[in-house]
Structure 1
Amino acid sequence: MSQMTLEKRFGQSTVFVASTLMENGGVPESATPESLLKEAIHVISCGYEDKTDWGNEIGWIYGSVTEDILTGFKMHARGWRSIYCMPKRPAFKGSAPINLSDRLNQVLRWALGSVEILLSRHCPIWYGYSGRLKWLERFAYINTTIYPITAIPLLAYCTLPAVCLLTGKFIIPQISNIASIWFISLFLSIFATGILEMRWSGVGIDEWWRNEQFWVIGGVSAHLFAVFQGLLKVLAGIDTNFTVTSKASDEDGDFTELYMFKWTTLLIPPTTLLIINLVGVVAGISYAINSGYQSWGPLFGKLFFAFWVIIHLYPFLKGLMGRQNRTPTIVVVWAVLLASIFSLLWVRVDPFTTKVTGPDVTQCGINC
């Protein structure tokens, strides 16, 4: 392949072209630090990709708000390999939003981009089988694009404990010993996977637990909204505009935006779930007190699931109530309204109760 063809394909950087010809990548031994810095600035410039195969096939691929995932997926489908690099000195540093509303909006943007890729022709479930994408890479990209859909079962799991406490039913029916063993095995395997991930990434257990808590908070809010917005965009053509998440700058104080509350509809679902579960706990304990001590046994199982939801949402509750007058009235009003409507509907409908039709007391007398 001639030098002109290589420059047409990879751009007019001699060092970069030479690195592509090396078996495992790298840089030529003759390159000096000064020349490498000069070439790096040249390669990352905006006009470097113009009229080259590098810009058309390998450069940034748009069509999603998370273009980095789409670009990496198509590069791997074409046979490019990734190398895990985690130097002791951070290669890149960035600022993240510390405000709750901004953080949820950032998670919404990421989740919406994943839903867009999932519902597009570049979905990793069916795209790129003629390429050189490995199966583990495909599974990783499928997980990256499909995770927002888990918001739907997560919302159900966070709602069912309150439903059981309000209706007097239990979330888990009577199951056999074999089914119990399968359930415990699945739970232990998930727990073991989390421990292995912590050891591999060097994350402490406190950081892992905070991540688990925010996964629930983001799952019932940002991920849920992303699924509906993605469906609206694909099915109805309604495009959702997003704003770039504001980040705290170095000139600002370390916690300038921490105590600044910003209204967003993403706050309504977690607040509603908190109120429903708290109301369910109060209703369950009140029912057990009125019914006698024989009701405390089944109540402990119901309370366990309800408290499991509450402790996951506790940082959200602490963020809302940690500073006086932070929570807008509209958030509280909507949350209380939705929680009340949901509770009344379940108590009124009571779908777990079998409806039996038959004679009333006036027809059969005392034998009823």
Structure 2
Amino acid sequence: MFSNDPQTPHRVLCYFLDPKIQSELGYVQFPQRFRGINKSDIYAYENKQLFEIHPRGMDGVLGPHYEGTGCFFSRRVFFGAPSKFLPPENPQLGPNNVVDKPIQSPKVLELAHHVAACNYEKNSNWGSKIGVRYGSLVEDYFTGYRLQCEGWKTIFCNPDKPAFYGDSPITLIDVLNQTKRWVIGLLEVCLSKYSPITFGIKSMGPLMGLAYCQYAFWPIWSIPITTYAFLPQLALLNGLTIFPKVSEPWFLLYVFVFLGAYGEDLLDFYSIGVTFQKWWSDQRMWLINGLSSFLFGATEFFSKSFGIATLGFNVTSKVLDEDQSKRQGSMEFGIPSPLFVPLTTAAIVNLAAFAWGHVEVFRGRNGLEGLLMQMFIAGFGIVNCIPIYEGIIRSDKGKIPTKITLVSTFLAFALYAAAYVTLRN
């Protein structure tokens, strides 16, 4: 990240020097903005829900979560709750210490080297009771959450001119790996003694507790997303209807839920001036993450919990090479990652189910009235999977590797065969 507006510190001081809020103000958070985003933001890396829409809502209660960058802290916030001060082991590192020696003096340089080496953290309260809180891969989320649980209030500042800019990932695998790391870190908080659903609601109240819960329970979304990506389609391939017919009253409930959820999400994006193209990319990436990052992140976390695997920290690459710069606007796959397997499998199953549904209707075995909902879900899946189909047929370095396509095709047939045997029995 880098500064984009030299007036930003002045704007922040207007909050920190306000006597009405000064004693309880922990930090001022600016939304993350990124360079290198095309007009459709194909990877939805602007994360408008996470970085702008949700913080606006939280700003009306105790304030936004800490986003990891673009944030100004009060030094006092790292030393306990507003009403309770935990003095540092080294008084020279305290929030009220004033350095009265030149910056080049030996004592100041010695202290600077001591802090830079991080030795001051050893056998101290830093990381547990004060300072940046450790114990999770999402240390930013965990730190802001713990600070607000202590009683600190925060402010969301979103000026017209972006205060900061950063670089965005340029391949799909980078985005998925980063989201997977977030998921693992969120589960570490969610299933600890500091879980937002218990500790958070008790400390901050139900509104802020639930606001943090909706992040902490991201991995759970992999269950309904995976279910809707495969179950209706496999039933359709086997000629089984599982949804109400168009003429039945329950059909209207499904229509209401779908239109209500997507309509509300679209209005949220329009309220902050985001185009339809970027909203579509965001909801598509939500489904892609549900089938990959959420699913693999949860699996990796629970495997590690049972001693089967260890966590890995994948650094996100944000370097754009010459070939990739020519292909901007298309999803970059390139490597045979297991994260691509469920995406490609879902694309194949949805396409096959949509085509077979038309065959069933034309043959008259099942009327369109009974299959409409399942055909709509399969069709909706196809529209969301267009970048996957493009990745399969492409011939450049950014294509989905042939190995992934073959494995996914085999899994699609295996799922169909398993569903066939199950339904016939």
TM value normalised by structure 1: 0.75
Query: Which of 370, 388, 392 is the aligned partner of 1:316?
Result: 388
Q: What is the one-letter code of the residue matched to 2:416?
A: S
Give the structure with higher Rg (CA).
Answer: 1
Moved more, 181-190 or 94-103: 181-190
User: What residue number does 1:166 align with?
Assistant: 237
Identity across the alignment (%): 28
Query: Which of 321, 342, 345 is the aligned partner of 2:418?
Result: 345
Moved more, 234-243 or 217-226: 234-243
Query: Which of 343, 346, 350 is the aligned partner of 1:277?
Result: 350
Secondary structure of 1:350's match? helix
User: What residue number does 1:232 align with?
Assistant: 303
Greater strand share, 1 or 2?
2
Q: What is the one-letter code of the residue matched to 2:325?
A: F
Alignment RMSD, CA only?
3.5
Q: 1:313 to 1:115 in 2, by over 3 A?
A: farther
Output the CA distance in 2 between the equivalents of 1:256 and 1:24: 50
Does structure 1 conserve the Cα–Cα contact (< 8 Å) formed by 2:178 and 2:314? no
Query: Which of 6, 19, 23 is the aligned partner of 1:22?
Result: 19
User: What residue number does 2:81 align with?
Assistant: none
Deviations 1:36-60 (A, max 9, x none): x9x99x99x8939958988764421
Q: 1:187 to 1:57 in 2, by over 3 A?
A: same
Q: 1:188 to 1:292 in 2, by over 3 A?
A: closer
User: What residue number does 1:207 align with?
Assistant: 278
User: What residue number does 2:314 align with?
Assistant: 243
Output the CA distance in 2 between the equivalents of 1:120 and 1:174: 44
1:71 Cα deviation (Å)? 0.4
Does structure 1 conserve the Cα–Cα contact (< 8 Å) formed by 2:225 and 2:290? yes
Secondary structure of 1:24's match? coil
Q: 1:140 to 1:344 in 2, by over 3 A?
A: same
Deviations 1:169-224 (A, max 9, x none): 12314599664554444344324422441233321222111101111111111111
1:282 Cα deviation (Å)? 2.8
- Please list every run of 5 or more consecutive structure 1 residues that lacks an aligned counterpart in the other structure: 1-15, 27-36, 356-368
Deviations 1:80-102 (A, max 9, x none): 11111112222221111121111
Secondary structure of 2:306's match? helix
Secondary structure of 2:313's match? coil
Q: 1:72 to 1:348 in 2, by over 3 A?
A: same
Output the CA distance in 1 between the equivalents of 2:261 and 2:323: 40
Q: 1:294 to 1:266 in 2, by over 3 A?
A: closer
Deviations 1:109-155 (A, max 9, x none): 11221122112222111114563x13211111100110111111110
Output the CA distance in 2 between the equivalents of 1:202 and 1:25: 32
Q: 1:269 to 1:57 in 2, by over 3 A?
A: same
Q: 1:121 to 1:332 in 2, by over 3 A?
A: same
Output the CA distance in 2 between the equivalents of 1:315 and 1:327: 10
Query: Which of 65, 90, 98 is the aligned partner of 2:137?
Result: 65
What is the correspondence of 1:1-368 to structure 2 with a 5 Å cutoff? 22-25=19-22, 47=115, 50=120, 57-128=129-200, 131=203, 133-173=204-244, 179-180=250-251, 182-236=253-307, 238-248=309-319, 255=325, 261-289=334-362, 291-292=363-364, 295-324=367-396, 326-350=399-423
Output the CA distance in 1 between the equivalents of 2:342 and 2:334: 17
TM value normalised by structure 2: 0.66
Q: What is the one-letter code of the residue matched to 2:407?
A: W
Output the CA distance in 2 between the equivalents of 1:20 and 1:135: 30
User: What residue number does 1:361 align with?
Assistant: none
Secondary structure of 2:155's match? coil
Q: What is the one-letter code of the residue matched to 2:354?
A: V
Greater helix share, 1 or 2?
1
1:22 Cα deviation (Å)? 3.5
Moved more, 177-186 or 156-165: 177-186
Secondary structure of 1:307's match? helix
Q: What is the one-letter code of the residue matched to 1:308?
A: F
Does structure 2 conserve the Cα–Cα contact (< 8 Å) formed by 1:161 and 1:277? no
- Please list every run of 5 or more consecutive structure 2 residues that lacks an aligned counterpart in the other structure: 1-12, 24-71, 76-92, 96-111
Q: 1:185 to 1:147 in 2, by over 3 A?
A: same
Q: 1:252 to 1:81 in 2, by over 3 A?
A: farther
Output the CA distance in 1 between the equivalents of 2:226 and 2:220: 11
Output the CA distance in 1 between the equivalents of 2:333 and 2:423: 42
1:162 Cα deviation (Å)? 1.5
Q: 1:61 to 1:346 in 2, by over 3 A?
A: same
Q: What is the one-letter code of the residue matched to 2:185?
A: G
Moved more, 215-224 or 166-175: 166-175
1:252 Cα deviation (Å)? 6.4
Does structure 1 conserve the Cα–Cα contact (< 8 Å) formed by 2:128 and 2:134? no
Q: 1:281 to 1:204 in 2, by over 3 A?
A: same
Does structure 1 conserve the Cα–Cα contact (< 8 Å) formed by 2:201 and 2:210? no
